[in-house]
Amino acid sequence: MAFFTHSLMEVGFYMQSDWGDERTQGALMWQVIKSVLAAFFGVQKEQQRKKDFEEGKPVAFIIVGLLMALVLVVGVFMLAMSAAD
């Protein structure tokens, strides 16, 4: 897990404010995921959005957003395929 976490830090996956121990990094990763999910559903608070833009790394939000979009597309495709049978 340390290698994976270190690799994500190199591409700027975590927030700029704290690159402490792995638990902190994991918590920051979950903050990015929660922010992207909230944005997907349109329920992102203005205060959180501002914090994301001030402290967050754009690469983190882009990667998580693309992965979630891919999961959504694959999920809809699988649902359509099962309904067609």
Query: At 20, is the pLDDT very low, low, confident or very high (cuts 50, 70, 90)?
Result: low
Query: At 18, is the pLDDT very low, low, confident or very high (cuts 50, 70, 90)?
Result: very low
Q: What is the pLDDT of residues 39-85, one digit of tens each?
A: 888 888 888 888 888 888 889 889 999 999 999 999 999 999 999 88
36 and 62 in contact (C-beta within 8 Å)? Answer: no
In terms of Cβ atoms closer than 10 Å to its own Cβ (0-12, 13-18, 19+), residue 5 is middle
Q: What is the pLDDT of residue 23?
A: 57
Query: At 21, is the pLDDT very low, low, confident or very high (cuts 50, 70, 90)?
Result: low
21 φ/ψ sector (left φ>0, alpha ψ -120 to 50, else beta): beta
Q: Which residue has the higher pLDDT, 70 or 24?
A: 70
